[in-house]
Amino acid sequence: MKKILISTGGSGGHVVPALNLYQHLKNDFDVKIYTDVRGAKYIPKDIKKNIFEVRKLPEKKYLLPLKIIFIFFSFIKSLVHLTRNKFDIIISTGGYMSLPIVLAAKIFNIKIYLIEPNSIIGRSNKFLLKFSNNILCYDKNLLINNKNFNLETKNISNNKKIIIEPLLNKCFYSHKNSGREIKKTLKILIIGGSQASLFFSKKLKNEIIDLASKYHIEVTQQLSSEYDIVDYKKEYDKKNIKNNLFFFENNFLCKENNFDIAITRAGASTLAELAHLGIPFISIPFPYATDNHQFLNTKRYLDLNCCWILEEKNFISGDIYKIINKIMLNKNEYNLKKNNLEKLSDNNTWEDINKKIIKYFNDY
């Protein structure tokens, strides 16, 4: 049985695809997950993990020598670890903690594969691309930042790039919103991903209250941890707006998915989940995401006419109201986007995707 190490860490954007890949591989391979302290909080307690901490430093030029020293010692640590633990394949879903492990794997001539859920390759994956056998990605037009910070696709060889379906938790394949129509109550989801969204918690309550003055609204909203749920819901309750408030939960959309529309950040996993469930969404990408990757993630769906997009820097009160009011007055555009979303995952089943992934890593 082949031994596989999945390296992941940092945010949920790296860890969630790693967990879903683990579910695909665990029955056919001997799979271990390595992560850092930040990433560990997204991994369920029933999944065994190895903590492999790599200290991160701020992106300041004068700290570069110190950063190199830390990476070097982590590289030595990785060499020692891989000497004691033999692996056939190393898979990285990105994040700086993967750098030393992947570089050490190259010394041992271990097969190296990268997973890139975003529409632009992350900085760690970009650096590691030259050492890898292949990069598995969701977007056939995967972008890369060149030295002049111009976006282009030609730097990634088609021989190295393998397009896969988004890696979702198995639970999503028993849920679909196909055929659902907006009824008397408009069910709205507000979700900010693993990092939540302070902006959403601050700005969107008034949008919902304004909508509720004209339409019957039910809102399910993820709050930033800076807020108290009991206190936050008082104004919704005062306006008789049915509400369900929560903090981040892994695979929340597996438990609750009966929504007409979502207002969301644009992490690759969140958008893939909404798309699979057939929930049209208004995306407000996080403007400070590295290489503006959230905007580019949304643009992929925007180009397929599957969503709406609002940029935070241009956001003004009433923007959400305008979009949803337009939908309620004429549902043609909404229905078109919903149909386009459903086409993206019409034929996708867990079993089919699982067979492809197992075959790929068996045949490497």
Can you say whether the dihedral through the CA atoms of 325, 326, 329, 330 is positive or negative?
negative
Render 106-121 in DSSP notation, one character per residue: HHTT-EEEEEE-SSB-
What is the pLDDT averaged over residues 64-82? 83
pLDDT tens sequence across 202-223? 999 999 999 999 999 999 999 9
Please check whether residue 341 is in contact with residue 306, taking contact to mean a CB–CB distance below 8 angstroms. yes
Residue 54 has a pLDDT of 73
Q: How far is CA 198 from CA 222, 246, 249, 311, in A?
A: 10, 14, 16, 15
Please check whether residue 177 is in contact with residue 278, taking contact to mean a CB–CB distance below 8 angstroms. yes
Domains and CATH numbers, the chain: 3-165+350-363 (3.40.50.2000), 173-344 (3.40.50.2000)
Reply yes or no on whether the pLDDT at 330 is more than 70.
yes
pLDDT tens sequence across 122-157? 988 998 999 999 999 999 899 987 544 455 554 566
Lowest average pLDDT, out of 39-48, 107-116, 331-340, goes to: 39-48
Residue bearing the bigger pLDDT, 69 or 221: 221
Structure-token pair, residue 249: 């939960």
193: confidence class by pLDDT, cuts 50, 70, 90: confident
pTM: 0.91
Separation CA 54–CA 195 (nearest Å):
20
Residue 55 has a pLDDT of 66
177: confidence class by pLDDT, cuts 50, 70, 90: low
